[in-house]
Amino acid sequence: MQGKKELQPKMLYQVHIDSLVAEDYFYRQLSRAIDLNFLYKATEPYYGKEGQASIDPVVFFKICLVS
């Protein structure tokens, strides 16, 4: 089963995580420049329909990209 990560910023001691990361941070710029949503459809045939949800394919690709 293909997993999908839903990012929901949470407050941490009255501080938003988004406010701690600079707007010109490399990974923010990368996220704005590259749309990886096509990976969901491209990888769908390789995932089973039963069992636990796997890692989000976009997250996995980003891990591979920066490693």
- The per-residue pLDDT for range 43-57, each reduced to its tens digit, is 999 988 888 888 999
Q: How far apart are CA 51 and CA 3, in angstroms?
A: 11
| Global pTM exceeds 0.85 | no
Q: How far apart are CA 35 and CA 30, in angstroms?
A: 9
pLDDT tens per residue, range 10-25: 765 677 788 889 999 9
Domain extents for the chain? Answer: 11-66
